[in-house]
Amino acid sequence: MADHGDHDDLLAGFLEQFGAIFEQSKQGVYVFLDDEHAACNDVLAKWQGYKTPKEWAKAARGDFLKLVEPASRHALVQMYQTALKEAIGGQVPVTWLHKDGKTKVKTDTILVPIDAAGHRFALHFISPA
C-alpha cells in the first residue's frame, strides 16, 4: 500500500483552513484529493444516508466513484480533471447513490479548484436538483 501520510496532512490542513465553509454551508460540500482522501460536511453525509462525515469518508475510501450513480461518473471525472489541469471551475448534474445503494439523489454539483499548501484541491458544492 502506498504511503499517504503526506495526503493525510494535506487533507487535515485543508479542512483546518476551510472548515468554516464545511460547517456553515447549507449546501452539501466535499473535497476530493484522491480515492483515499475525501471529506464532506454533515449536509452531504445525511443526503446520502450516512450518520456522519467520517462514515461517508470511510465509505468513499478506495473507490470514491462508488458513491456516484454510474451514468454520472464520466461527467464528474471530466469536470474534476479539467479543474485540476486548467484551474477552471464548472457545474454538472450528478446523481449520487444513497447508502442503501438503491435511492438516487439528483443534484447540481459545482466544482471549484483551490490551491492550498502547494497542492490543487477540488472543492465541490452540491444542491438538490
Each residue's pLDDT tens digit in the chain (129 positions)?
344 458 889 999 999 999 999 999 999 999 998 889 999 999 999 999 999 999 999 999 999 999 999 999 999 999 999 999 999 999 999 999 999 988 999 999 999 999 988 888 999 999 999
CA–CA gap between residue 24 and residue 43 (Å, rounded)? 10
- Looking up cell 454510474 gives 70
**Other residues' Cβ atoms within 10 Å of the Cβ of residue 2:** 7
Report pTM.
0.90
Q: What is the pLDDT of residue 5?
A: 57
Q: Of 43, 38, 49, whose CA–CA distance to 14 is shortest?
A: 38
Question: What is the longest distance spanned by two Cα atoms in the chain?
Answer: 39
What are the φ and ψ backbone dihedral angles of 34, each rounded to 5 degrees?
A: -165, 180
Q: What is the pLDDT of residue 35?
A: 86
The distance of Cα 8 from the centroid of its chain, to the nearest Å, equals: 15
> Could you state, in order of their start, the residue ranges of all structural domains in the chain?
5-128
**Cβ proximity of 40 and 29 under 8 Å:** yes
Give the homologous superfamily in CATH for domain 5-128: PAS domain (3.30.450.20)
